[in-house]
Amino acid sequence: MSGKLIVQNARIIDPASNTDIHGSILIENGQFVDIVEGQQAAPEGAEVHDAKGNIIAPGLVDLRVFTGEPGREFRETLRSASDAAAAGGVTSALLMPDTNPVLDDAALVDFVSRRARDTAKIKFYPAAAISKGLDGKDMSEFGLLKEAGAKALTDGRKSIQNAALLKTAFTYAANFDMPIIHHLSDENLTGSGVMNAGLLATGLGLKGIPHIAETIPLDRDVQLAEATGVRYHAAQISCAKSAEIIARAKQHSNRISAGISINNLCLNENDVGDYRTYFKLAPPLRSEDERQAMIAALVDGTIDVIHSDHDPQDVEGKRRPFAEAVDGAIGLETMLSAALRLVHEEQIDLVSLLKAMTCNPADLIGINAGRIKKGVPADFIEIDLNYPWVTSENDLKSRSRNTAFEGARFSGKVAATFLNGNKIYELAEA
């Protein structure tokens, strides 16, 4: 964008600076150049965008997005994922390495970066595999992966079981100042479990996954992180005990953080209902008490990041008996609207919620995003906080349809999304 854009009549929220004002924003050459309280006259030749009193906030930053490209483009391409992201207000996203082939080689990381720049509407940043082939046995070449553009190291859906390998990986990652984002699951304790362990699983005749399958590897990871000084991020926690472990760790280190899936924040095990496979997720949906504990951990800052855990799966993977179905749900288009439920229910304030979806994740992977600030790329969204809508599979822009929010009624939606000052999405009715 070479011209000027002025956004007027806006409620401007910048979570990074705890700003919440009514005013105007001037954008030039794709960057924010002025943010003023009150009405500002449009400079000569500037395009005017009337926010109509809606919220203007930084574009969302999503740290856990799976796609099918390369290798499984029938599930999702970088282009279709970016269409879904733009509709959901996500302007920057971290790509998981669970592709075919796995992103464990510098050439593959470079390829995905270039492919995203050429085809996607939003900014995709690749994460590279901790272990070669995601097999949890041999480490990838961290230095080469960082040079190729990898922003973080993770084994995506996989959880490394070997503590010695993790310690070595944490040590090398600390040397390269790269964050480790690790999924937590003890394979022996998870076993053949398919949902949260408890009375509901017993009643449904399904094998359960206990909390300790998450908390034991988390406890191990935290101790290793403290010993090595790595920047460690627990990819997604789901129970109160995990929050307690993270809270204790944060008392000793400012290099430890935690994320949560929008699914575990807004849904519980009762949503599994009559063996509904779209609710078969990892980590599993927990009890309502645990969900409330997660909200409390988000409010007090124990949980730093909310992500979509966007994981497109095809019909063959989901239309099976519950125990045989694959894990995962798409979430880019519904993440913000689902999260706004917590605001409408007065469980968290809007600025704090947006902080966990903008500046916090941006800071974690070190990208210049998640802020409305002079000199920063003008990636922002307009939110109609009270817009009523119902999720429908047919309206989703993702190539896959495995949403955990089918038929969900929401209040609040993205009215427009801008990247570098250019509008990349607009709500049809807006």
- Model pLDDT for residues 318-376, shown as the tens digit of each residue: 999 999 999 999 999 999 999 999 999 999 999 999 999 999 999 999 999 999 999 99
Q: Does the predicted TM-score (pTM) go above 0.95?
A: yes
Q: Taking the C-alpha atoms of 76, 182, 233 and 356 in order, what is their torsion angle to the nearest 10 degrees?
A: 30
Place of tokens 């906030």: 57
| Per-residue pLDDT at 1 | 44
Cα dihedral sign, 366-369-373-374? positive
Average pLDDT score over the chain = 97
Predicted pLDDT at 40:
84
CA–CA separation, 68 and 288 (whole Å): 32
| Residues forming beta bridges with residue 61, ordered by sequence position | 92
**From the candidates 155, 186, 304, 309, which is the catalytic residue?**
309
| pLDDT > 90? residue 143 | yes
**Integer angstrom CA distances of residue 139 from 104, 245, 320:** 9, 27, 35
Residues 6+ apart with CB under 8 A from 206: 194, 195, 322, 323
Query: Which pLDDT score is estimated for 26?
Result: 97
Q: Identify the pLDDT of residue 411.
A: 98
Residue range 311-321: average pLDDT? 95
pLDDT at position 141 over 70? yes
Checking if the pLDDT of 430 tops 80, the result is no
Percent of residues, the chain, with pLDDT higher than 70: 99
Which DSSP letter does residue 397 get?
A: -
192-216: burial string, b at 16+ Cβ within 10 Å, e else: ebbbbbbebbeebebebbbbbbbbb
Asked if the peptide bond before residue 101 counts as cis, ω within 30 degrees of 0, the response is yes
The H or E element that residue 380 is part of is strand 380-390
- Domains by residue range for the chain, with CATH: 59-365 (3.20.20.140)
The pLDDT, as a whole number, for residue 39 is: 86
The DSSP result for 239-274, as a single string, is SHHHHHHHHHHHTT-SSEEEEEEHHHHH--GGGGTT
**pLDDT exceeds cutoff 80 at 239:** yes
pLDDT for the residue 338: 98
Residue 260 main-chain phi, psi, to 5 deg: -145, 145
311 classed as catalytic: no
What pLDDT was estimated at residue 3? 82
pLDDT tens digit sequence for 50-96:
999 999 999 999 999 999 999 999 999 999 999 999 999 999 999 99
Element (H, E) at 296: helix 288-299
- Taking the CA atoms of 308, 312, 316 and 317 in sequence, report the sign of the dihedral they define: negative
Split at pLDDT 50, 70, 90, the class of 42 is confident
Question: Which residues does 396 contact at the CB level (< 8 Å), separation at least 6?
Answer: 84, 330, 333, 403
pLDDT of residue 395: 93
pLDDT the model gives residue 425: 98
Is the separation of the CB atoms in 128 and 164 below 8 Å? Answer: no
